[in-house]
Amino acid sequence: MRLFCGLALAYETRRNLELMLQHLRPSASINWSPPENWHITTKFIGEQPEDQLPEIVRALGEVPAPGPLEISIAGLGWFPNPHQPRFLFAGVQCPATLADLARETDERLALVGVPRETKPYTPHLTLARMKPPSEIADLRRAIAALPLADFGRFVAAKHLLYQSKLGPNGSQYTVLAEFPL
């Protein structure tokens, strides 16, 4: 099973992003992430045998709860950089406790055999993926013409364990466990 941990978006924030993307989608033929898959990843776990799931859930239950997190989604950017983009993302502004949650999650899962993260935690919301070279000049112009890129604020109260299954129409995410913050 392919697993990851993350935070779900509030409905209002997701709706604001959807309205903006209705404007941007016609600008580029790239792989747009479906709104039902939008989340803020805290830990990518990867492929795990199904019999490992109880240990993973137990380990996640031991992650110290930081309390509800105030999250703001604003701004758009490119990974790894604007010159050779592979991802379009929305920025995530949050308290340092989100990075602490990601670090603690990584540490607890390492105790049950999940490989540790090798890069610093950078919260973001993936909106689209592209394979270079992609023609995105029109998309860049459409983004530059946006009146603002503030998509809303919300309080995340649950840390979620997701399963990702590849289907004929892309990945489908299912919440397997919830952990109160």
E strands, the chain, are 2-8, 31-32, 39-47, 69-79, 87-93, 124-129, 150-156, 158-167, 170-180
Among the listed residues 23, 39, 83, 159, the single catalytic one is 39
**Active site annotation includes 83:** no
State the Cα–Cα distance between residues 59 and 55, nearest whole angstrom.
6
Among the listed residues 23, 83, 124, 159, the single catalytic one is 124
Within 8 A by CB and 6+ apart from 99, the residues are 121, 123
Listed residue (43, 42, 25, 41) closest to 33, CA to CA: 25
**Active site annotation includes 124:** yes
The residues annotated with a catalytic role in the active site are 39, 124
